[in-house]
């Protein structure tokens, strides 16, 4: 039977089977808003009718500059299910990059959270295709220097039903842009088919183990690769969803976990660390509902995994993916027969994991080892190209495979471990040094909070490693101690030529270490010595 895989099936299922299940948002004024999937569905219908009234047609782009709220979830479904395309704009990009991606995507409408009005004031005159601005928030009048309407006024008076079309599964449903750490951000299109299959895969027990019994708090920003696909999966299975709203803090996360009995969150290691610090500095909070949750973006320190498991009973599972892969590729769960000692267990849990079903991979060998090289991926939710960028498409999509540019090794059980990014490998005297291997070992030291290693041009050796280290509060360690710690595992020529102590390591808009900024700032370091 020919049957289109599209997001409408997920929307309808939540409405028809789980109409009473709750969706909760912390509003911009701190109040808690509650409704259910039945009311959610009616508001999605109202939004679709409103978009149609504004002239939105099949294939048109609808931009969102929004935080994690129930209204943003409505914006995930209404445009896509009526045949248009939602475009989540990363609000942490620079104003110039935000204007660029909106223009490049040709968004016709821009929905923006109330706290983003100031940002829009700076760029609205540069936006070439945006015809309407909608302020997302509670029902009130918002002051803007450009013509706008509030979200609640936009959908008020609209019908709570909609004559949904049967969207072809290969049609575009959503789009996002890479975070732009190298050059301008690159756009990718997510098809209905890809999103549905990705949703099914991450919901599996050996994926993110989604079910109706879950209470899911969406911590990963919804403007970052569909919040790792978690809102779609939670909606499909009818799980209760909790949204932390604008500018969430560790206190917000912890209070919502406690009050809503959240048992599932996913976030980058930096956010996990902030939650841990808050809990250690503020006693009396109960997060016992939180049992198994997820992390990604970079390998979590073993000390962080151990602290949450032993002190709070939370098992943190490592996942891996990219913007171009919708994003989840792997989930790291030990196989049932694997018996791991404590240190072995935590080191294993820092690996990226096993590939999800329906995906295929190969390793493009770059050195002498047969199981080490660049990871190439293909599968039903891997995007096919960069939007309107032939040059980058030819560079990264080769013979039906997507080049991740991640250098990985494969163990005998099939677990993938990232050794480095291709662009972050350090070539010293004709030999390769892995910056990630050095970073991972540095962060095993109890005094070190975060560490990053970069290659800096060297007049004799081509490049030499330099480490940037931030310490745990009230911890002390000197450079020689750090080098001695590294020398226990690595050869002398791998050791950083310099170790620079910093209060905080700079990060990208999605919470990853910003190596590009450090490389630019210190590129003449050895020339100045």
- The residues carrying an active-site annotation are 178, 324, 427, 432
Q: Which residues contact 349 (CB under 8 A, 6 or more apart)?
A: 300, 302, 305, 316, 317, 318, 332, 334
Length of the chain: 529
Tell me the β-bridge partners of 458. 462
The residue among 4, 25, 9 whose CA lies nearest residue 73 is: 25
Three-class secondary structure of residue 420 per DSSP: strand
Alpha carbon distance 290, 258 (integer Å): 9
Spatial contact of 223 and 88, defined as CB atoms under 8 Å apart: yes
Alpha carbon distance 116, 129 (integer Å): 19
SS (H, E, C) 252-290: HHHHHHHHHCCCECEECHHHHHHHHHHHHHCCCCCCCCC
DSSP 8-state symbol, 178: -
Packed helices 230-237 and 192-203: angle between N→C axes, nearest 10 degrees: 70
Tokens of 28: 């911009």
**438 C-beta neighbours (distance < 10 Å), count:** 23
Report phi then psi at 100, rounded to 5.
Answer: -60, -50
Three-class secondary structure of residue 297 per DSSP: coil
Alpha carbon distance 233, 203 (integer Å): 6
What sign does the CA torsion over 469, 474, 475, 480 have? positive
How far is CA 518 from each of CA 297, 418, 428, 453, 466, rounded to the nearest angstrom? 19, 21, 18, 9, 10
DSSP codes joined into one string, 317-380: EEEEE-GGGSSEEEE----TT----HHHHHHHTTS-BEEPTT-EEEEEE-SS-TTEEEEEEEST
Tell me the β-bridge partners of 240. 215
Alpha carbon distance 7, 122 (integer Å): 35
- Show the CA angle centred on residue 329, arms to residues 62 and 366, nearest 5°: 115
Alpha carbon distance 515, 422 (integer Å): 13
The residue among 252, 238, 189 whose CA lies nearest residue 210 is: 238
Tell me the β-bridge partners of 501. 469
């Amino acid at each position: 039977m020919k049957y289109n895989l599209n997001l409408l099936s997920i929307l309808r299922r939540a409405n028809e089977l789980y109409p009473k299940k709750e969706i909760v948002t912390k509003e911009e004024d701190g109040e808690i808003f509650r409704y259910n999937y039945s009311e959610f569905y009616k508001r999605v219908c109202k939004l679709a009718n409103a978009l149609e009234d504004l002239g939105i047609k099949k294939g048109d782009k609808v931009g969102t500059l929004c935080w994690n709220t129930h209204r943003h979830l409505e914006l995930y479904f209404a445009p896509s299910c009526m045949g248009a395309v939602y475009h989540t704009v990363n609000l942490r990009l620079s104003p110039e990059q935000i204007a660029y991606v909106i223009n490049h995507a040709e968004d016709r409408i821009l929905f923006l959270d109330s706290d983003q009005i100031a940002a829009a004031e700076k760029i609205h005159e540069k936006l070439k295709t945006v015809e309407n601005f909608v302020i997302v928030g509670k029902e009130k009048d918002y002051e803007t220097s450009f013509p706008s309407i509030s979200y609640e006024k936009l959908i008020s008076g609209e019908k709570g039903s909609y004559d949904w079309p049967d969207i072809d599964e290969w049609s575009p449903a959503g789009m996002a842009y890479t975070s732009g750490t190298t050059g301008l951000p690159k756009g990718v299109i997510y098809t209905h088919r890809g999103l549905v299959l990705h949703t099914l895969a991450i919901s599996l027990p050996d994926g993110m183990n989604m079910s109706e019994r879950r209470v899911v708090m969406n911590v990963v920003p919804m403007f970052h690769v569909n919040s790792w696909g978690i809102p779609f999966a939670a909606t499909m299975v009818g799980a209760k969803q909790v949204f932390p709203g604008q500018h969430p803090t560790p206190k917000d996360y912890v209070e919502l976990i406690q009050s809503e009995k959240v048992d599932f969150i996913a976030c980058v290691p930096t956010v996990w660390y902030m939650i841990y610090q808050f809990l250690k500095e503020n006693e009396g909070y109960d997060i016992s509902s939180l049992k198994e949750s997820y992390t990604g973006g970079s390998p979590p320190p073993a000390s962080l995994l151990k602290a949450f498991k032993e002190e709070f009973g939370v098992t943190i599972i490592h996942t891996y993916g990219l913007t171009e892969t919708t994003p989840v590729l792997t989930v790291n769960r030990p196989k049932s027969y694997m018996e791991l000692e404590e240190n072995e267990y935590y080191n294993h849990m820092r690996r990226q994991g096993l590939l999800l079903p329906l995906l295929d991979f190969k390793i493009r060998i770059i050195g002498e080892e047969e199981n080490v090289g660049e990871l190439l991926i293909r599968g039903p939710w891997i995007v096919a190209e960069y939007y309107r960028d032939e040059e980058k498409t030819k560079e990264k999509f080769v013979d039906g495979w997507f080049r991740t540019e991640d250098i990985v090794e494969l163990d005998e059980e099939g677990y993938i471990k990232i050794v480095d990014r291709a662009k972050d490998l350090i070539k010293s005297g004709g030999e390769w040094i892995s910056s990630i291997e050095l970073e991972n070992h540095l962060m095993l030291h109890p005094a070190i909070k975060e560490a990053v290693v970069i290659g800096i041009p060297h007049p004799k050796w081509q490049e030499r490693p330099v480490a940037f280290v931030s310490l745990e509060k009230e911890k002390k360690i000197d450079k020689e101690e750090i080098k001695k710690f590294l020398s226990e595992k690595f050869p002398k020529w791998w050791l950083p030529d310099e170790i620079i102590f910093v209060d905080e390591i700079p990060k990208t808009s999605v919470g990853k270490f910003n190596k590009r900024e450090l490389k630019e700032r210190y590129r003449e370091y050895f020339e100045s010595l």
